[in-house]
């Protein structure tokens, strides 16, 4: 199997009926980035910067962060890399940060909420990222954005850091692209405005599904109770794809479902043309894509969504379709 996927590395990711899909890789540590060339990934679609913070014994200093981000950029050898700013809180705890007791950590003080309330933290990270990206394309995205206003506040911090850089005659990135993760359902109802303001969107389906079904992604009792391959989730995902595609805003999805062949097929059928996944998932997803007529898959998925309106799992029907085709 591994051998077979390895041979697919240089095969273009195109469906049987000629639809090209960009397959990107998720990573969190420098060691993961060594695999980018082996996988044939177009880029690193999600670099989870918090992993480095979770391994450290204190907040990494500006220079340490800058060095790490520069190494990451160098490790991907000319490919793009999308850095996600610190996504801590909830399940991602920093041992050296005062633990805050919260009734509902997943709904609490996490990710961009911490970043905006402790701007020193976020600004240091942004400064390190902008410095590391000197003269190159720099892509930064913000996690857990719930309102357009939060994005505007985060962007204002970036602008401040850029101005600071220029005042100090430091070379800025040649191109700077800012994006938001779509992982809080409130974002669905702000998409028209958001699409006009951001350079790209990336759906964090792990959190989005958790919040859509109000089911803790790490709680075994409830996590498997709802299926991503069900009309409510697929409709939400289609709504996002339709809005982004109509606005011409680049869209990707970087949650776990993007790396599962059956789910990935459904996502492509819904209009997703870029998926970011773990290194090991790229081969299996590409093998599925090469054997799929996306036009047929799209017609089938849309008809299923019309036919079954409730929270039914469409998994079995989709599996039958995939096997028959």
Residue 126: phi and psi, rounded to 5, are -65, -40
Give the binding range for ligand PEP (CB under 6 A) out of 132-140, 164-172, 200-208, 302-310: 200-208
Element (DSSP H or E) covering residue 83:
strand 81-84
Question: Which residue lies nearer to ligand PEP by CB, 42 or 304?
Answer: 42
How far is the C-alpha of 235 from the C-alpha of 233, rounded, in Å?
A: 5
Could you tell me if 53 and 69 are in contact, meaning their C-beta atoms sit under 8 angstroms apart?
A: no
Give the binding range for ligand PEP (CB under 6 A) out of 51-59, 96-104, 202-210, 293-301: 202-210
Tell me the number of residues near ligand PEP by CB under 6 A. 10
Angle at CA 1, nearest 5°, toward 24 and 316?
75
> With DSSP H G I counted as helix, E B as strand and the rest as coil, what are the percentages for the chain, rounded to 5?
50, 15, 35
User: Does residue number 205 form part of the binding site for ligand PEP (CB under 6 A)?
Assistant: yes
User: Does residue number 254 form part of the binding site for ligand PEP (CB under 6 A)?
Assistant: yes
* Residue 150 site contact among ligand PEP, Mg ion, none (CB < 5 to 8 Å, cut-off depends on kind): none
- Smallest gap from Cβ 286 to ligand PEP, in A, equals 20
> Cα-Cα-Cα-Cα dihedral of 198, 201, 207, 208, to 10°?
100
Query: Considering only residues 231, 255, 283, 284, which one is a binding residue for ligand PEP as defined by CB under 6 A?
Result: 255
Cβ-based neighbours of 77, under 8 Å, separated by 6 or more: 36, 37
- Smallest gap from Cβ 82 to ligand PEP, in A, equals 11
Give the binding range for ligand PEP (CB under 6 A) out of 5-13, 52-60, 167-175, 203-211: 203-211
Cβ-based neighbours of 197, under 8 Å, separated by 6 or more: 148, 151, 152, 155
User: Does residue number 179 form part of the binding site for ligand PEP (CB under 6 A)?
Assistant: no
- Smallest gap from Cβ 165 to ligand PEP, in A, equals 28
- Smallest gap from Cβ 198 to ligand PEP, in A, equals 17
Q: Which of residues 54-93 bind ligand PEP (CB under 6 A)?
A: 87
How far is the C-alpha of 236 from the C-alpha of 223, rounded, in Å?
A: 18
CB atoms within 10 A of CB 196: 10
- Smallest gap from Cβ 25 to Mg ion, in A, equals 17
DSSP string covering 183-252: -SGGGGGGHHHHHHH-SEEEE-HHHHHHHHTT--TT-HHHHTTS-SSSHHHHHHHHHHHHHHHHHT--EE
How far is the C-alpha of 146 from the C-alpha of 162, rounded, in Å?
A: 24
What does the binding site for Mg ion look like in residue numbers (CB under 5 A)?
A: 183, 204, 207
Query: Considering only residues 150, 207, 263, 298, which one is a binding residue for ligand PEP as defined by CB under 6 A?
Result: 207
Question: Which residue lies nearer to ligand PEP by CB, 251 or 304?
Answer: 251
CB atoms within 10 A of CB 99: 8
Give the binding range for ligand PEP (CB under 6 A) out of 55-63, 114-122, 204-212, 316-324: 204-212
* Residue 89 site contact among Mg ion, ligand PEP, none (CB < 5 to 8 Å, cut-off depends on kind): none
* Residue 255 site contact among Mg ion, ligand PEP, none (CB < 5 to 8 Å, cut-off depends on kind): ligand PEP
Cβ-based neighbours of 190, under 8 Å, separated by 6 or more: 147, 148
- Smallest gap from Cβ 97 to ligand PEP, in A, equals 17
User: Does residue number 48 form part of the binding site for ligand PEP (CB under 6 A)?
Assistant: yes
- Smallest gap from Cβ 11 to Mg ion, in A, equals 31
Residues that bind ligand PEP (CB under 6 A): 46, 48, 87, 183, 204-207, 254-255
């Amino acid at each position: 199997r591994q051998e077979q996927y390895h041979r697919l590395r240089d095969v273009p990711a195109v469906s049987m009926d000629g639809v090209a899909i960009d397959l990107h890789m998720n990573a969190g540590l420098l060691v993961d980035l060594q695999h980018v060339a082996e996988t044939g990934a177009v880029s690193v679609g999600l670099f989870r910067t918090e992993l480095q913070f979770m391994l450290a014994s204190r907040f990494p200093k500006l220079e340490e962060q800058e060095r790490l981000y520069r190494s990451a950029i160098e490790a991907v050898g000319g490919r793009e890399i999308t850095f996600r700013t610190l996504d801590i809180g909830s399940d991602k705890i920093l041992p050296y940060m005062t633990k805050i007791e919260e009734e509902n950590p997943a709904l609490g003080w996490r990710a961009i909420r911490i970043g905006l309330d402790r701007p020193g933290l976020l600004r240091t990270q942004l400064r390190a990222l902008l410095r590391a990206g000197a003269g190159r394309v720099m892509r930064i995205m913000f996690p857990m954005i719930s309102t357009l206003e939060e994005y505007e506040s985060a962007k204002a911090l970036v602008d401040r850091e850029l101005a600071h850089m220029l005042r100090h005659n430091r070379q800025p990135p040649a191109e700077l692209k800012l994006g938001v993760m779509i992982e809080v359902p409130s974002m669905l109802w702000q998409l028209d405005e958001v699409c006009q303001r951001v350079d790209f969107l990336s759906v964090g389906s792990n959190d989005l599904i958790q919040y859509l079904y109000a089911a803790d992604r790490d709680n075994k009792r409830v996590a498997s109770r709802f299926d991503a391959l069900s009309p409510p989730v697929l409709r939400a995902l289609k709504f996002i794809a339709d809005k982004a595609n109509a606005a011409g805003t680049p869209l990707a999805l970087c949650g776990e479902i993007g790396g599962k062949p059956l789910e990935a097929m459904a996502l492509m059928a819904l209009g997703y043309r870029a998926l970011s996944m773990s290194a090991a998932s790229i081969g299996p997803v590409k093998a599925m894509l090469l054997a799929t007529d996306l036009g047929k898959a799209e017609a089938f998925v849309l008809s299923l969504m019309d036919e079954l309106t409730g929270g039914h799992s469409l998994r079995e029907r989709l599996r039958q379709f995939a096997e028959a085709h």
